[in-house]
Amino acid sequence: MGDDKKKGGIGLVKLLVYGVLLIAACGGGLFIYGSSIPEEHLASSSIEVDRWPLECYDLVADAQNLPKWASSVKEVRDFKKDGDKLTYTQVVSGNMELITTQTNGFRPNEITIEVREANDKFSGKWAFKFTPIKDGKGTKVTLTEMGKTPNPLMRAIGSFMMNPEDTIKQYLQDLKKQAESKKPTS
């Protein structure tokens, strides 16, 4: 009977050791996979909106009202204005906090939004271009994301959980829906 207890104890230790080794192997595999993914990425998409460029520009520039129409933005807070720059915190899907700096360029042509995840897991920039179409009565909105994720583990995990192009396309769809739901200005 003493031998059974000894074997059971060794079996439990072996199980724990194998468990730790498995976790380490998975972490190492993720690190190696993440190291093969570029640290920086670029994604871009465009959409046509049946509203004036100024109307589209003003929707994006109005950070306080983003949660009302941008499906990924849950909350905005902590606004600070410094010249032509507006800094605020966005709480997005998954309760992730993004420190955001918005620079409104030549109205109604461009806006640049720089973001940094609160724990520095990633950073990036969204560049908006508003181009008149349909004799100026419509707008081609182009959104380009330039992102950076320094940590290989975060790159690996991010590659499974989110696609920058999907995020951009959803934001543009939300913008189009909101802009076209409002009465057009003349």
Record the pTM.
0.78
pLDDT by position in tens, the chain (length 186): 445 455 556 788 888 887 888 887 777 777 777 777 788 888 999 999 999 999 999 999 999 999 999 999 999 999 999 988 999 999 988 888 999 999 888 888 999 999 988 777 888 999 999 999 988 789 999 999 998 888 887 777 777 777 778 889 999 999 999 999 987 665
Task: Say what the pLDDT of residue 52 is.
Answer: 92
Task: Say what the pLDDT of residue 119 is.
Answer: 79
Task: Say what the pLDDT of residue 56 is.
Answer: 95
Kind of pairing, strands 123-133 and 40-49?
A: unpaired
Task: Say what the pLDDT of residue 8 is.
Answer: 53
